[in-house]
Amino acid sequence: MYSVKAGLKQLAQHDRIVPKPGRLIAVIAIFLLVMTASVYALLPGEVDGEVMPSLAPMLEKVTPAVVNVATEGRIQIRQNPLLNDPFFKRFFNIPDQPIERKTQSLGTGVIIDAKRGLVVTNNHVIANAHQITVNLRDGRKFQAELIGTDPETDVAVIKIPAKNLTAIKLADSDKLRVGDFVVAIGNPFGLGQTVTSGIVSALGRTGLGIEGYEDFIQTDASINPGNSGGALVNLRGELVGINTAIFSQSGGNVGIGFAIPINMVTMVTEQLVEHGQVHRGLIGAQTQDLDPELADAFGIEQRSGAVVVDIAPGSPAEKAGLIPGDVIIEVNGKKVKGSSDVRTRIGLLRVGEKVDFTVIRDNKKVKLTAIVADSEEVASTTKLKNPRLAGATFGDIPENAPAYGRIKGVVLFEVERGSPLWQAGLREGDIITSVNQIKVDDLSTFLQIVNTAGEGRMLFRVRRGNQAAYIVIR
């Protein structure tokens, strides 16, 4: 191995002089050029008859499936509220119609179905677009039709009426490992198709606040504005993710890019193609991250997971047997790091699908199964649905109320004059302690009872100050 110092010494001895500062620079430059030429001379095109490794053959198959996406749209411009005043409009001659501004954006897309012309991209690439133009690598240009979008995952599907398309093969992103080599293909800064390479830097990145459902692949392959919606592929040319965001204070690449795993993309695109939107399911469980302090309080060694803090009455979570205090450590056999993992994995399932939980309860592992329900159906379990209670607002007893801690029940916060409850004699501030002789501990219990009471009359036990009475609600 050669060094710059040794080379200079040899040159100085050969010339029999000590180089002057100016000549020293020239000598260094000459030496570096000689060394560079020597290094390149040592890089043959073949090694033992084998061609040097190259990504070119793989990219020749993959790049035709990556397209450039250009959009045009219009958005309304917010204006000073004073200019909405009729006087100011007349004075400044401001037109009545909303002021709009033309928008343009450039991004990338990936052909996932050649026969149907389906292209997946990011929602933010085509958001507010009135016109979407797709440019293929072979120079063809098409106007695209919007199939559906999902802002929560930043996934969108568009369709082009093209023939002889090339689709990309999908990988199983669950099999990715940190350190796997990946290649990003996109349209950075509108330059045209560009390829960069790197490795998988991290998996399962959440809590970034980029999207509603996050489970990102982090990579150091250069991703810049315009790469959004582009392909992240492995060395076999299989699609492992859709590039979507970068972490940067300057707006340029700093080696931290994020891609949506293709398994998540597939779940979303199937629903977008089928329904035009994503029908998300819920189970009715509220969770929070398990931290060391909570783990110590629960007396468990587990340091990662999601703690169940509330269960909606009548929800799939309650029917499955989940209770507050359970620590969810696995969902469908996959480990849970925190609350966002639980939310993401359940939110990507279809209504009616099963979800298996492994929880820690009393320092023992318990397995439970819930059936994912429609989000509106689950939300309705926390709403007052009995028409005979229309015009009334109930809630848990406030901590600053004299009855807090002494009486269990719910408070009637508001009641409309002339409503069924008003006519029955109930007034604001009344506390309902039982319904149909079933004790009411809190609002969840109350809603569960009254929402399933049927059409028969209801018997309320009511406390007003130091007095109690039974009131019949017909």
User: What CA–CA distance (Å, rounded) separates 443 from 152?
Assistant: 30
454 shares a domain with 342: no
Q: What is the pLDDT of residue 251?
A: 65
CA-CA distances (angstroms) from residue 454 to 388, 430, 444, 450?
10, 23, 17, 8
Instruction: Report angle CA 114, 119, 120 to the nearest 5 degrees.
Output: 135
Residues 84 and 123 in one domain: yes
Residue 187 lies in a domain: yes
Which of 328, 349, 379 represents a domain boundary (last residue)? 379
Q: Is 130 annotated in the active site?
A: no
Residue 451 has φ and ψ, to the nearest 5°, of -75, -15
Boundary residue ending a domain (228, 256, 277): 277
In a domain, 49, yes or no: no
| pLDDT tens profile 85-140 | 555 555 556 555 566 677 788 899 999 999 999 999 999 999 888 899 999 998 99
54 is catalytic: no
Task: Indicate whether 433 belongs to any domain.
Answer: yes
Nearest to 439 by CA among 464, 413, 463: 463
Q: How far apart are the C-alpha atoms of 352 and 281, rounded to whole Å?
A: 8
Which SS3 state, helix, strand or coil, does residue 382 take?
coil
Please check whether residue 158 is in contact with residue 134, taking contact to mean a CB–CB distance below 8 angstroms: yes
Residue 417 pLDDT = 85
The CATH code of the domain that includes 268 is 2.40.10.120
Note whether 372 and 463 are same-domain residues: no
Predicted pLDDT of residue 207:
73
Q: Are residues 125 and 259 in the same domain?
A: yes
Give yes or no: residues 257 and 288 share one domain: no
DSSP letters along 165-219, please? Answer: --PPPB--GGG--TT-EEEEEE-GGG---EEEEEEEEEEEE--SSSSSS--EEEE
Domain boundary among 277, 305, 329: 277
Query: Which of the following is catalytic: 105, 124, 220, 315?
Result: 124
The helix, strand and coil proportions of the chain, stated in percent and rounded to the nearest 5, come to 25, 35, 40
Q: Which pLDDT belongs to residue 83?
A: 53
Rounded Cα distance, 330 and 33, in Å: 59
In a domain, 81, yes or no: yes
CATH code for the domain in which residue 371 is found: 2.30.42.10
Residues 260 and 338 placed together within one structural domain of the fold: no
Alpha carbon distance 446, 469 (integer Å): 18
Instruction: At 339, list the tokens.
Output: 């609350």
* CA separation for the pair 369, 360 (Å, rounded): 14
State pTM to two decimals: 0.66
State which residues form the domain around 421: 384-473
Strand partners, 67: 109
User: Can you count the helices (H) and strands (E) in the chain?
Assistant: 12, 29
Query: Are 421 and 375 found together in one domain?
Result: no
Residues of the chain with pLDDT under 70: 1-51, 75-100, 248-253, 375-382
Q: What is the pLDDT of residue 8?
A: 30
Rounded-to-integer distance, Cα 138 and Cα 34, Å: 42
50 lies in a domain?
A: no
Question: Which ranges of 42-85 would DSSP assign to H, the alpha helix?
Answer: 56-62
Coil, strand or helix at 102: strand
Residue 229's nearest CA partner among 204, 258, 272 is 258
12/78 same-domain check: no
The structural domain count of the chain equals 4
97, 185: one domain: yes
By the 8 A CB rule, do 211 and 154 touch? yes
State the helix-helix crossing angle for 4-15 and 21-41, rounded to 10 degrees: 120
Residue 47 counted as domain residue: no
Are 146 and 243 contained in the same domain?
yes
H or E element: which one contains 13? helix 4-15
Flag whether 322 is in a domain: yes
Q: What angle do CA 38, 39, 44 make, to 5 degrees?
A: 105
* Whole-Å CA distances, 231 to 56, 205, 223: 16, 18, 11
Euclidean distance between the first and the last CA atom of the chain, given in angstroms as a whole number? 97
Of 150, 154, 326, 430, catalytic: 154
3-class DSSP state for residue 87? helix
61 and 17 fall within a common domain = no
Residue that the structure tokens 């509106």 belong to: 376
User: Angle at CA 235, nearest 5°, toward 40 and 150?
Assistant: 130
94 occurs within a structural domain: yes
Do 26 and 83 fall within a single domain?
no
- Specify whether 248 is catalytic: no
105, 222, 228, 339: which is the annotated catalytic residue?
Answer: 228
